[in-house]
Structures are given as C-alpha cells and as structure tokens.
C-alpha cells in the first residue's frame, strides 16, 4: 500500500519516533498525541482493520501492545492507560491501517473518553445476542 502512511513508516520512507520493533510489529509515538507518550502499535503487514488482520499478526500486535503499555506505565510511574482500536470511519479510524493506541493517563489530564449509555427494550438484548451468535 504505497500511499499508506503507516506502511511508509514500516518501510522507512517516513521517519518515526520508534519505541519498539520486531519482525511483525512496529510501535512509535503518535505525532498528534492525546497525552504525551501516546504510542501506536502497528502490524507491519497492511490490514485495514482488526477483522482483516491475520491471526499471527493479531497475536503479535496484542503482545507488542502489552509490552508498550508496560513500558509506558514504568516510564511514567503509574499503571494507568487506555488501549483503543478504532475500526472503520464511523468508529473514528483516520489511518486505514490497523493499529492500537496506547494512551498513558494522568490524574489531572484533560482527556475524556466517554460514551452515552443506551438501554435494551423488552427482548431486544436476546434478539441482538442471537443475531451476533449466528456469525460466530
């Protein structure tokens, strides 16, 4: 994917502040962080979303996310972080290459990750469960 910014980082044509790299995954600081230290964990093989990732790349990416989260926690002296993965435009995905955000959290930071809460009516919860289970 020659126009993908993350693929360009993987192949070295765009510089990045790398914090971790192995044969399947690269992690680097986000250039527009939600908090300083905000890292992205990216599979080297292009896949647009989690669903398109191979099982091997998914496992490697999650393992790398754990390493990066641990390193962030140790480097900032706390264990607080958000791990976020946006999949698709409606979910807020901007770069169409699968990636996990690891965002360190601090007691007085201004980052707010909130969503409204809905309620299921009647038997809706069972209906939704059945719809989903058909495709598992």
- Is 3.30.428.10 the CATH number for 5-133? yes
pTM: 0.92
| CA quadruple 6, 38, 111, 82: dihedral sign | positive
**Nearest alpha carbon to residue 45 among 24, 15, 17:** 24
pLDDT tens digits, one per residue of 10-30: 999 999 999 999 999 999 999
4-26 burial, b for 16+ CB within 10 Å, e for fewer? ebbbbbbeeeeebeebeeeebbb
pLDDT tens digits, one per residue of 110-129: 888 888 899 999 999 999 99
pLDDT tens digits, one per residue of 56-79: 999 999 999 999 999 999 998 888
Whether the pLDDT of residue 81 is over 80: the answer is yes
Whole-angstrom distance, CA of residue 49 vs CA of residue 65: 16
Among 38, 97, 99, 101, the active-site one is 99
Catalytic site includes residue 101:
no
Whether the pLDDT of residue 1 is over 80: the answer is no
pLDDT tens digits, one per residue of 29-45: 999 999 999 999 999 99
Listed by start position, the domains of the chain span: 5-133
């Amino acid at each position: 994917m020659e126009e993908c910014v993350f693929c360009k980082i993987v192949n070295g044509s765009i510089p990045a502040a790398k914090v971790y790299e192995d044969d399947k995954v690269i992690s680097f600081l986000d250039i527009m962080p939600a908090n300083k230290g905000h890292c992205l964990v990216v599979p080297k093989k292009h896949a647009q979303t989690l669903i398109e990732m191979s099982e091997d790349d998914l496992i490697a990416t999650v393992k790398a996310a754990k390493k990066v989260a641990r390193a962030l926690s140790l480097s900032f002296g706390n264990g607080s972080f958000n791990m976020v993965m946006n999949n698709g435009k409606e979910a807020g995905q901007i770069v169409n290459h699968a990636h996990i955000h690891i965002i360190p959290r601090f007691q007085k930071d201004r980052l707010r990750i909130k969503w409204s809460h809905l309620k299921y009516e009647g038997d809706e919860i069972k209906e939704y469960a059945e719809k989903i289970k058909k495709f598992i």
